[in-house]
Structure 1
């Protein structure tokens, strides 16, 4: 099997010329004969069906690769890395209308809010951005929302606790977009025995790519009683907004030693 199939200069040029041809046909569709329209429509349906099938297969294959997390760890020089399955596993989150607080959205992801009657929709959708690595987006469409906060809790897998100490840093990379800017915060929570230590960072929304670091060296952890780690993404004043998470990755690495 040729792993670079479709990437030769000739093949890339052929695809580009095909796109240009169909764009030209589209721009002149109102002047084509009925017979020609019928034939071209049939060709377009066949082409669209093949493209749709390839997109689905490609998304599944990309998802299998992203689930391994090896690329994240290597890039960050991390000893542990993770991407929540909502961004690579199709169908792991079903569409929820007016979800209650505490609603689980697939594994390791929970929605929280303090609204009595939340008018909102949450769902997983195929990404519309060709530059996105993750094949799926997580979308929250918020309408009349009387609560003061809306948050997503990412429960880190148990492997994140293996060998964890206050010499570690957790790093979160996320891509998100919103219809309107709003206050966003990221908070890490480390439960050790009866205690929960927290760090919170404000995310300045001046783009779509963000990086947040949590240095556990500033926490007084009981490393012998570590039980759970989770990270909250908190959205204040979320009403009448569309919030799209395009990707989230979390990794763990050692603090710099001097």
Structure 2
């Protein structure tokens, strides 16, 4: 067995695949267009799986082996998740002069109404052994004359599956900032044509902060939940640097009264 855990037949197959794609890449400038189109489709499918593998592998290998990548979760949680931005390296690690609706990765999008954007959004490495997340997010705000600045984070479909009004959704994060500011979190739950919204202020007086959203106070229709996302809203962010060292979500059923 090789050091990477591959067997003899696996290594033969891998070498054959490498030779094939090297041959196709070399011949691409002269390949018939119809055939080239089919090869491109196959390459895109392969690239999607390779990108998924590299994201997970790079994230796990980013920090020393003794670092704990666990997700904090209540003991009775039925779902927990850390977004990709805090889990592993992104293909594009940062954005400068960020325009509104600019995405960093596939799950996080920055929104604002500032005419002249002096914003920098960047994924950074966490290097402290105390950090559970491999990566963090840094937001640098210079001159800002807009009325709102928010980071939208899309939750995966698993968060919506089986979601009931008796559920509590928890957001946990570690926030660092240069100067004090207020941060609010809005949970959005789309069910059919309607969107239920709950807003909570992050308590920033502790190292690790959390907020919980009780769906019992909404008019959620359990059988029609389509998607969930959160808006992290920054108030008074001008001339400031905010770092989200970690961001996790979990879900648990509410205790019966």
Q: Which residue of 2 aligns with 1:205?
A: 204
| TM-score normalised by length of structure 1 | 0.71
Q: Which residue of 2 aligns with 1:102?
A: 101
Q: Which residue of 1 aligns with 2:85?
A: 86
Q: Secondary structure at the match of 1:217?
A: helix
Q: Which residue of 2 aligns with 1:180?
A: 179
CA displacement at 1:62 relative to structure 2 = 8.0
- Are 2:111 and 2:151, in contact at CA under 8 Å, matched by a contact in 1? yes
Structure-2 change in CA distance of 1:110 and 1:234 (3 Å): same
- Structure 2: 5+ residue stretches without partners: 1-58
What root-mean-square deviation, in Å, do the aligned CA atoms of Structure 1 and Structure 2 show? 2.2
Q: Which residue of 1 aligns with 2:165?
A: 166
Aligned: 1:148 with 2:152: no
Q: Secondary structure at the match of 1:59?
A: coil
Q: Secondary structure at the match of 2:85?
A: helix
- Structure 1: 5+ residue stretches without partners: 1-54
| TM-score normalised by length of structure 2 | 0.72
Distance in 2, Cα, partners of 1:230 & 1:188: 6
Within 5 A, what are the aligned runs for 1:212-251?
Answer: 212-251=211-250
Distance in 1, Cα, partners of 2:247 & 2:214: 18
How many residue pairs align between the two structures?
199
Q: Which residue of 2 aligns with 1:115?
A: 114
Q: Which residue of 1 aligns with 2:16?
A: none
Distance in 2, Cα, partners of 1:115 & 1:155: 23
Q: Which residue among 37, 56, 63 is the counterpart of 1:59?
A: 63
Structure-2 change in CA distance of 1:105 and 1:61 (3 Å): farther
- Are 1:93 and 1:123, in contact at CA under 8 Å, matched by a contact in 2? no
Structure-2 change in CA distance of 1:59 and 1:144 (3 Å): same
Q: Secondary structure at the match of 2:219?
A: coil
Distance in 2, Cα, partners of 1:109 & 1:189: 14
Moved over 3 A (4+): 55-58, 60-63
